[in-house]
Amino acid sequence: MRKIFIAAVFFWALFAVPAFAHELILKPAKFTAQKGEELPIELQSTHIFIVKEEVEDISRITAGIFQGGKLVPSALKPNEPDLRIDFSVKIPDDSSSSIIMANKTGDIWSVTPDGWVAGTRKSLEDKGIKVTRASMTDKFVKAIINASASDKNFATVVGQELEIVPVTNPASAKTGQYFKVKVLFNGQPAAMPVFATYDGFVKEYENTYAYYTESDTDGIANIKITSPGLWIIRASKDNEPGVPGEYDTRSIRSILTIQVK
């Protein structure tokens, strides 16, 4: 029985852990801001939605506002006491939606006899460390600011590798109704699992969501809104092919943050 238990733990460590990597989430100080205002943004990393747990490595992160067809990057400030990364964006227009975004790419961790260690298979094996499996996780996140009933900028595609695009205007999102999104992978509609939850749904348990659905072949997913407040919507592609010698599998995550009034 003990051998079976050890084998089960090893199997979980070998295959399941990448699915439990911290999620990257954008949390604006507020969801409405005036033109020219510097809006503070928190970039959080967590398993509990939404409770800050760790500060991620900013060397792999770019974040800022999507403006003029591109990401205008902001200066990132790790905030260890408050377990978050701080930055701000200047709001260009208060009559249309602004899209805040962040990308973290190239984050590779390997399973070794001492547990998960940062580094590629080759870099660690060159040091004499045995690597059972190496995985890379890329994270893409967005938040919608200043959504209004007459605005259409909320549906702007910013070109993230895995992207969640609202179809329903966040300004029209209401409790008891469905919120529609489109999932894009490399710019094309993609079918995959979609999770959603709201701030305060669960504070006791990790990786727990209020809603589950799947996007169809047109990339469309419908989320039932069950509470007002800050919502996150998540999609992921796991166990994508790796690069020989560097990492064996790749996971790609995307999270959209909206406010439901």
Whole-number Å distance between alpha carbons of 232 and 216: 19
Rounded to an integer, the average pLDDT of 175-181 is 97
What pLDDT, on the 0 to 100 scale, is given for residue 12? 36
Q: What's the per-residue H, E or C state across 122-187?
A: HHHHCCCCCCCEEEEEEEEEEEEECCCCCCCHHHCCCCCCEEEEECCCHHHCCCCCEEEEEEEECC
User: What confidence score (pLDDT) does residue 7 get?
Assistant: 34
Per-residue pLDDT band for 179 (boundaries 50, 70, 90) equals very high
- With a cut of 50, say whether residue 11 has pLDDT above it: no
pLDDT band for position 139 (cuts 50, 70, 90): very high
Percent of the chain with pLDDT over 90: 83
Domain boundaries, the chain: 2-260
Nearest-angstrom CA–CA distance, 80 and 84: 7
Q: With contact defined as beta carbons under 8 Å apart, do 101 and 83 qualify?
A: no
Q: What is the pLDDT of residue 149?
A: 87
Tell me what percent of the residues of the chain surpass a pLDDT of 70.
92
In the predicted model, what is the mean pLDDT of residues 17-44?
88
3-state secondary structure at position 249? strand
Q: Yes or no: say if 44 and 24 are a contact pair by the CB < 8 Å rule.
A: yes
Q: Nearest CA to 85 among 94, 73, 93, 76? A: 76
Would you say residue 4 has pLDDT above 50?
Answer: no
Distance CA 164, CA 236 (A): 10
Beta strands in the chain (DSSP E): 23-28, 38-46, 61-67, 70-73, 77-79, 84-90, 98-112, 115-118, 133-145, 162-166, 178-185, 188-189, 193-198, 211-214, 220-224, 229-243, 247-260
Give the pLDDT of residue 169. Answer: 96
How many C-alpha atoms does 59 have within 13 Å on its Cβ side?
Answer: 3
pLDDT per residue over 196-249, tens digit each? Answer: 999 999 999 999 999 999 999 999 999 999 999 999 999 999 989 999 999 999
Q: What are the φ and ψ backbone dihedral angles of 178, each rounded to 5 degrees? A: -95, 140
Q: Is the CB of residue 63 less than 8 Å from the CB of residue 21?
A: no
pLDDT digits (tens, 9 = 90+) for 49-101: 989 999 999 999 999 999 999 999 999 999 999 999 999 999 998 889 999 99
| Bridge pairing between strands 178-185 and 211-214 | unpaired
